């Protein structure tokens, strides 16, 4: 069975502003994660750790698709725990002067063997907080 998370969030800002927040590492650091080696480009790879806490997991991604101001897709993996990968897709649509952000995280069943920290519910909660609070507040401030 496929385990996917789909989160939709409307943001009161134009698509270009949201796109820049998603793809500019200086802005990403303000609301998402500090990803020093992030460079937007097909097949570029990046690494990061979530801040604070006991569980500082190494995240690795490879950019799979870039359509400026529309779509950004990358892998999401934990190389120290598993060779398995999942896919994160960010999609932007103009929505009556604002932007509808749709995040889809596919293939979470690939992480089931890693334990409770890697279950679908944790990703769902995390993405809801990231899109519904962090991104929205950063862009609308």
Domains in the chain with CATH codes: 5-140 (3.30.530.20)
pLDDT given at position 117: 86
SS (H, E, C) 83-105: CCEEEEEEEEEEECCEEEEEEEE
Q: Which two tokens stand for residue 59?
A: 């995240």
Which residues of 23-135 form beta strands (DSSP E)?
Answer: 45-49, 58-67, 71-77, 85-95, 98-106
pLDDT given at position 33: 93
Per-residue pLDDT of the chain (141 residues; tens, 9 = 90+): 678 999 999 999 999 999 999 999 999 999 999 999 999 999 999 999 877 665 578 999 999 999 999 999 999 999 999 999 999 999 999 999 999 999 999 999 999 999 988 999 999 999 999 999 999 999 998
Rounded distance, CA 35 to CA 41, Å?
14
pLDDT given at position 54: 59
């Amino acid at each position: 069975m496929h385990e996917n998370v789909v989160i939709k969030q409307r943001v009161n800002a134009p698509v270009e502003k949201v796109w820049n927040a998603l793809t500019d590492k200086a802005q990403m650091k303000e609301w998402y994660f500090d990803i020093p080696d992030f460079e937007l480009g097909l097949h570029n790879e990046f690494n990061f750790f979530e801040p604070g806490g006991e569980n500082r997991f190494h995240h690795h991604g490879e950019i799979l698709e870039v359509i400026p101001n529309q779509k950004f897709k990358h892998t999401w993996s934990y190389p120290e725990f598993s060779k398995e990968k999942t896919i994160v897709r960010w999609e932007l649509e103009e929505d009556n002067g604002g932007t509808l952000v749709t995040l889809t995280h596919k293939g979470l069943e690939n992480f089931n063997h890693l334990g409770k920290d890697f279950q679908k519910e944790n990703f769902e909660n995390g993405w809801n907080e990231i899109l519904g609070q962090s991104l929205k507040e950063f862009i609308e401030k």
